[in-house]
């Protein structure tokens, strides 16, 4: 099959139409703009009532989200930030989950005007990792301490679903002896950032053991989307991308991740688009997004738009949009990445983020070659703002009272999607989120965070990080031993047994 034939067979119109309502998708521009205009001068009591709903871990309506997006009063903004952090702590405690991206290919058939990977960018050097190169990259990531990664692929026949499945098998099969010589470490969770696919191809990834499937809509505004994505490309089809998560659900992948690239259009509209997306997933499947990402556009090689878009998001607006997302979809994880400067990322985590990356390298083959982005500018999609090592970021956050987690237990124990509890679906309260709403899943995650943090401190931490980490982990142990939930559920003896065994050299024990 030649390139033209491959491109023509990717989009399946029937796998768009089945999700439409009366031929319409869930992005209603008139409604979104109408709500943003209607609530331009929000009432203080109305805002506080909405904050209480967030604290009850309930998905906000688009109208309620519009109210929060219009808040300008400094005092109310501070109340929103405080509520956002309370929501995060209620659902996820003081954990920060770490991962790193593994870029497997930069060949792409699309021509997105803001992206370094676009097909007409002659300055980009193209490469698809061989399975041996995938193995070497994975080894380098494990040797730094990583146990979770997100594998990233361009849209191209050389990096199709079969290639992705093969690379996943290679990653999962890669093991490294621990620095102490006790047992081995490996990647326990592979999330995938790849192009929208058919249900048939998504089932291949499900069978290969995919973790979370991530697709960013880029921009939810159809007109702006058309300006940035040429109509004669696969990505030019707005609705094919819009319903990528719906197809993933139908394929059996119940952990999906949505996001927008902030800077392509007005940030308030994008936040509204994300909330509408969460609502439609809950409406059709009873399961909301596992995570939401909000990357800001960064400079990309050969892209004028990436540095000159009229919609670039300033730091103050960035703080506000993260706060509103935390409140609007309170059950979901929020991901802040190394795109951001170190000092801003540290601040944004206090607005309710739950996941971040570190020691990230986005050049093709950059981990095993130990190249920073300045040495590899013609193989990266965009430029990072924070290139610190995993150890440095963990040490900083531990000093701030955040415990690092590499936990993958929930996924391997089946606590995902609508399998997390056998409860009936209710409007805008998915089965997947029941344990999150009640704070139960967070308690299991707290135990597993301590276990995986213990592993990291034993195997990879520098002396200073170990010193700070030991102080934090002792505090966590005291807190766990004092919580009635763990004693009532008779979880404490098993946890303490696992902790002692990990401290003695065993690995990958989880609750």
pLDDT of residue 411: 64
Q: What Rg, from alpha-carbon coordinates, does the chain have?
A: 22
Q: How do residues 397-412 score in pLDDT, each as one tens digit?
A: 999 999 999 998 766 6
Q: Cα(309)–Cα(297) distance, rounded to whole angstroms? A: 9
pLDDT of residue 431: 46
pLDDT of residue 2: 74
Q: What is the largest CA-CA distance in the chain?
A: 64
Position 429 pLDDT exceeds 70: no
pLDDT of residue 489: 86
End-to-end alpha-carbon separation of the chain, Å?
47
pLDDT bin (cut points 50, 70, 90) of residue 292 is very high
pLDDT bin (cut points 50, 70, 90) of residue 433 is low
Q: Cα(418)–Cα(359) distance, rounded to whole angstroms? A: 34
Position 378 pLDDT exceeds 60: no
Of residues 317 and 232, more confidently modeled: 317
pLDDT bin (cut points 50, 70, 90) of residue 430 is very low
Position 423 pLDDT exceeds 50: no
pLDDT of residue 425: 39
pLDDT bin (cut points 50, 70, 90) of residue 427 is very low
pLDDT of residue 95: 95
Q: How do residues 439-464 score in pLDDT, each as one tens digit?
A: 566 788 899 999 999 999 999 999 99
pLDDT bin (cut points 50, 70, 90) of residue 285 is very high
pLDDT bin (cut points 50, 70, 90) of residue 183 is confident
pLDDT of residue 376: 53
Mean pLDDT for the stretch of residues 469-478? 97
With residue 41 as reference, give the H or E element that holds it.
Answer: none
Q: How do residues 381-391 score in pLDDT, each as one tens digit?
A: 557 889 999 99
Q: Which of 80, 87, 86, 82 is nearest to 65 (CA)?
A: 80
In this structure, how many other beta carbons lie within 10 angstroms of the beta carbon of residue 420? 22
Q: Which residues pair with 483 in a beta bridge?
A: none
Q: Which of 404, 479, 473, 414 is nearest to 441 (CA)?
A: 414
pLDDT of residue 279: 98
Q: Residue written as tokens 């690239």? A: 261
Q: Cα(121)–Cα(218) distance, rounded to whole angstroms? A: 19
pTM: 0.92
With residue 251 as reference, give the H or E element that holds it.
Answer: helix 244-251
pLDDT bin (cut points 50, 70, 90) of residue 436 is low
């Amino acid at each position: 099959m030649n390139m033209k034939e491959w491109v023509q067979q990717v989009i399946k119109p029937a796998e768009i139409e089945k999700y439409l309502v009366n031929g319409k998708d869930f992005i209603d521009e008139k409604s979104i703009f109408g709500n943003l205009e209607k609530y331009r001068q929000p009432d203080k009591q109305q805002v506080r009532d909405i904050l209480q709903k967030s604290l009850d871990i309930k998905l906000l309506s688009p109208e309620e989200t519009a109210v929060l997006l219009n808040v300008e009063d400094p005092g109310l903004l501070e109340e929103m930030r405080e509520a956002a952090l309370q929501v995060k702590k209620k659902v996820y405690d003081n954990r920060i989950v770490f991962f790193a991206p593994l870029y497997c290919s930069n060949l792409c058939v699309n021509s997105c005007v803001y992206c370094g990977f676009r097909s007409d960018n002659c300055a980009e050097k193209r490469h698809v990792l061989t399975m041996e190169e995938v193995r070497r990259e994975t080894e380098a990531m494990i040797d730094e301490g990583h146990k979770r990664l997100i594998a990233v692929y361009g849209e191209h026949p050389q990096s199709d679903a079969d290639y992705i499945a093969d690379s996943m098998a290679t990653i999962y099969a890669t093991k490294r002896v621990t620095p102490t010589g006790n047992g081995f470490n490996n990647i326990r969770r592979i999330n995938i950032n790849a192009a929208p696919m058919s249900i048939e191809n998504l089932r291949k990834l499900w069978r290969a053991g995919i973790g979370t499937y991530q697709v960013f809509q880029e921009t939810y505004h159809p007109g702006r989307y058309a300006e940035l994505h040429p109509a004669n490309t696969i990505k030019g089809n707005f609705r094919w991308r819009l319903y990528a998560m719906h197809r993933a659900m139908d394929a059996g992948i119940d952990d999906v991740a949505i996001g927008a690239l902030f800077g392509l259009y007005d940030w308030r509209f994008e936040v509204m688009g994300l909330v509408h997306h969460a609502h439609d997933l809950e409406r059709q499947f009873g399961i909301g997004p596992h995570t939401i990402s909000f990357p800001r556009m960064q400079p990309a090689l050969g892209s004028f738009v990436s540095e000159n878009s009229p919609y670039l998001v300033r730091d103050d607006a960035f703080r506000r949009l993260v706060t509103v997302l935390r409140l609007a979809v309170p059950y979901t994880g929020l991901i802040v990445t190394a795109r951001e400067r170190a000092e801003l990322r540290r601040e944004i985590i206090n607005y309710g983020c739950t996941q971040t990356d570190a020691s990230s390298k986005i050049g093709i083959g950059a981990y095993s070659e130990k190249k920073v982005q300045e040495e590899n500018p013609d193989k990266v999609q965009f430029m990072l703002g924070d290139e610190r090592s995993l150890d440095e970021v963990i040490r900083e956050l531990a000093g701030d009272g955040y415990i690092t987690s590499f936990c993958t237990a929930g996924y391997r124990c089946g606590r995902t999607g609508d399998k997390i509890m056998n409860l009936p679906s209710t409007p805008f309260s998915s089965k997947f989120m029941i344990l999150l709403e009640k704070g139960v899943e967070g308690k299991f995650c707290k135990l597993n965070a301590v276990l995986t943090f213990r592993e990291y401190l034993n195997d990879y931490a520098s002396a200073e990080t170990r010193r700070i980490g030991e102080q934090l982990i002792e505090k966590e142990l005291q807190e766990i031993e004092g919580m009635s939930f763990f004693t009532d559920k008779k979880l404490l003896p098993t946890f303490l047994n696992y902790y002692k065994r990990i401290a003695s050299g065993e690995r990958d024990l989880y609750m």
